[in-house]
Amino acid sequence: MTTKPVSAPVFSIEPVDGLIDEPRRIVVSGLAPDELVAISARTARARGVTWMSQATFMADAEGVVDLKRDAPVGGDYAEVSAMGLIWGQQPVDSTSAELFPDDVMQPLQTTLTAETADGVRAEGKLAQGFAAAGVERREVRENGLVGTLFTPAGPGPHPVVVVLNGSGGGINEPRAALLASRGYRAFALGYFKAPGLSPFITETPLEYLETGLRWAHRELKPKDGFVAVSGQSRGGELALLLGATFPHLVSAVIAFVPGAMVHGAQGAGDPARGGWQGTTWTRGGIPLPHLWQDNAAVHWHPWAGDTPPSRHHSVFFEGLKDTALAERARIPVENIAGPVLLISGRDDRAWPSSLYSRMVVSTLRKHDHPHLVRHLDFDDAGHAINLPIVPSTQLSRLHPVSKVPYTNGGTPSGNTRADDGSWRGMLAFLGEAAGSAGQGAASRNPHAQADS
């Protein structure tokens, strides 16, 4: 009687340690030809919540599974993807939507486990960092500002990027740390729901953001005077608004899934000050007109707390039917005095970021905008376009402020392609924009008075 030899799986992971935007090659060898092996990935993310994925693979004739080459035969993703076990993760015994560590100076640690049908197991590990060696983190609490500054290793000066979060508020340290790891001095600036600031987005004064921009020019001494603004969702709306309102302070605008006009406070609004219809931005104490301000066309509101629809963005199309109000609420993007990058998902179900981005591009074209304009519009991607190589499975979630459920849209596969493509596209855009900034640096006066 012949005894079947027991295979002994072995992991090869290259590189084991790296930044979160670096794909890895994950190979399992030592298997029998055509043998099935289940591979799982477990990562401890924020607040001690474990995220996990699993997929089963069939070894080739040499007893090897290479995730860069092989699609799983079953499991949490279904295509060839070197990092599918990371972006396919979901939280275990939790509804957490927090993807990043509590301390971005510490890398995320993932344990990979391979198990054969005979119960033979092997383990491998990989680390995904946000801050490269030498990146420095400093909390900023001055001039009324609340944020975190990340400085790259090596001598400056460096181009500067101000990083704004969306309607979840807080301080976007993960993106800023990774930008610093790629050579930019990154100032993650909170504007609500951060220590010492309002818990709501309602009546946020643009003067606060102006102070942050002036502080960045004055204190950070950016290379060639280059200060870009990057924002996500409501932060994307805000990035466009800052570029249009303070063009002498904003060298370039990066707007992820943005609005093309000012909206009301929506899910981040203070219930005591108008709720979702409340004012979001003020200037000189005067509220900026917004799309929900006595809108004659809107008759359905997803923020009322009823059972959520699959597509929240239908209310935005209704809002645009009040054309006179939409024009008053429109962000005058033609005033932006630098390059503009727009990033959107064609299946955005939170609001129509693809349409909004196209509206911005059209306006800039009509006004013969003299600077670079680029629009990255991703198939099968929703509202939650994030950093690369993170879980992209959270298609629906509770809003972090209102706790009302909403749908992001997209598919995990489409979202992860947008995560990767938008990050690499943003770095390419920044390289072009910052590289050309020196030509116009002499004409910029960051200490001039704000345009009226």
Predicted pLDDT of residue 47: 85
Q: Give me the pLDDT at residue 300, please.
A: 58
Q: DSSP H helical segments within 166-304, as ranges? A: 173-181, 206-220, 234-245
Please pick, among 29, 354, 383, 413, the residue that the annotation labels catalytic: 383
How many Cβ atoms are within 10 Å of 382's Cβ, its own excluded? Answer: 28
Identify the H or E element spanning 18. strand 17-19
Does the annotation mark 383 as catalytic?
yes
Contacts by 138-141 with C-beta closer than 8 Å and gap 24+?
A: 140/187, 140/215, 141/195, 141/196
What local confidence, expressed as pLDDT, does residue 312 receive?
60
User: CA dist 200 to 67, 169, 278, 281, 429, Å?
Assistant: 44, 8, 11, 12, 32
10-residue averages of pLDDT along the chain (452 residues)? 70 97 97 98 92 98 98 97 98 89 95 96 97 98 98 95 96 98 98 96 98 98 98 97 98 98 92 92 97 83 56 77 95 98 95 96 98 98 96 86 82 98 98 78 35 28
List 40, 233, 354, 422, catalytic entry = 233
Q: What is the pLDDT of residue 257?
A: 97
Pick the catalytic residue from 348, 357, 369, 422. 348
CB-based contact 252:341 (threshold 8 Å)? yes
Number of neighbours of residue 225 by Cβ within 10 angstroms:
21
- State the Cα–Cα distance between residues 357 and 333, nearest whole angstrom: 11
Decide if 233 is catalytic. Answer: yes
pLDDT of 406 reads 77
pLDDT at position 446, please? 34
Q: Identify the pLDDT of residue 450.
A: 30
Query: Pairing state of beta strands 10-14 and 50-58?
Result: unpaired
Record the pTM. 0.93
Q: What is the pLDDT of residue 1?
A: 46
Domains (range + CATH), the chain: 10-129 (2.60.40.2240), 136-438 (3.40.50.1820)
Nearest to 135 by CA among 101, 174, 185: 185
